[in-house]
Amino acid sequence: MRILFCGDVVGRSGREAVQRYVPLLRQRLNLDCVIVNGENAASGFGITSSICQDFYKIGVDVITTGNHIWDQREMMGSIDKDKRLLRPINYPATTPGQGYYLHTTAKGKTVLIINAMARLFMEPLENPFSAVDQILKKYRMPDHVHAIVLDFHGEATSEKMAMGHFCDGRVSLVVGTHTHVPTADHQIFPGGTAYQSDVGMCGDYRSVVGMDKDIPIYKFTRQLPPPERMKPAQGEATLCGILVVVKEESGLAEGLYPIRLGGSLEQTSLDILESYL
């Protein structure tokens, strides 16, 4: 089974990268499931129902989020209507929405997608390790599901790494989001779980983590309130994602491949990637 996870989508340029490359990747790599973190898709702050529908139309199966999930107020009343749009599972139980989703592929395989948020330098939510552990006790590979993907949204690399090892042997992929910078530590742990501390963003990298650089530079150099709100950079975006190849008999990973297409970062050769698969 082949599962693609794409990092935080930032603004219009990030959405355009997803719309351009996801259909291409689905076709060329024969993907079974596509997951996208969309929490910065609406002008850099949150996501809307309209954007979700646009993503579904071009081949995205599930959308994860993070600390910006409520930036667009409409989501408070609409997230319960869209089971494929997730918010972190460790929000209080009374919070609208859900933190996991069971996706059935075209081939009839079941993929469990979990969305959790870290706590170091983040909002003080409930313990993500306990929340994830509770779900993994309910759904096990390969007895209940064929694959499990965890989007762990957080700042601290140490907390993300701890979650990766905590889940080793129990999930197919633990992938970090939120910092918007792709890390070079993609690997498959001894227990068979694939891991990357941060997959990066789908956004313009000639920026400050996806935002037009002028306002962040103003804040860092002058230590004054900015004259206007930050806005996403509008240059060509790089789609940053990671492809995990899962053993169907166990749900564990047998291959892990970072993907970067478009924009200013070093590009992935799809011809070379296809030769590996």
Closest CA to 139 of 164, 120, 111, 117: 111
- Quick one: average pLDDT of 108-123? 97
**How does the average pLDDT of the chain come out, rounded?**
97
Residue ranges making up the domain that contains 95: 2-276
Q: Could you say which of 68, 146, 153, 180 is catalytic?
A: 68
CATH code for the domain in which residue 102 is found: 3.60.21.10
Q: Tell me the pTM.
A: 0.97
Please state the domain count of the chain: 1
- CA dist 215 and 221 (Å) reads 10
CA dist list (Å): 246 to 19, 67, 193, 224:
25, 29, 10, 49
Mean pLDDT calculated for residue range 113-142: 97
* pLDDT value of position 210: 97
What is the identity of the amino acid at 209? V
Active site residue 178: no
Which of 194, 209, 199, 273 shows the shortest CA–CA distance to 242?
199
- Asked if pLDDT for residue 20 goes beyond 90, the answer is yes
Q: Are 201 and 8 in contact (CB under 8 A)?
A: yes
CA distance 44 to 51: 12
Q: What is the pLDDT of residue 226?
A: 87
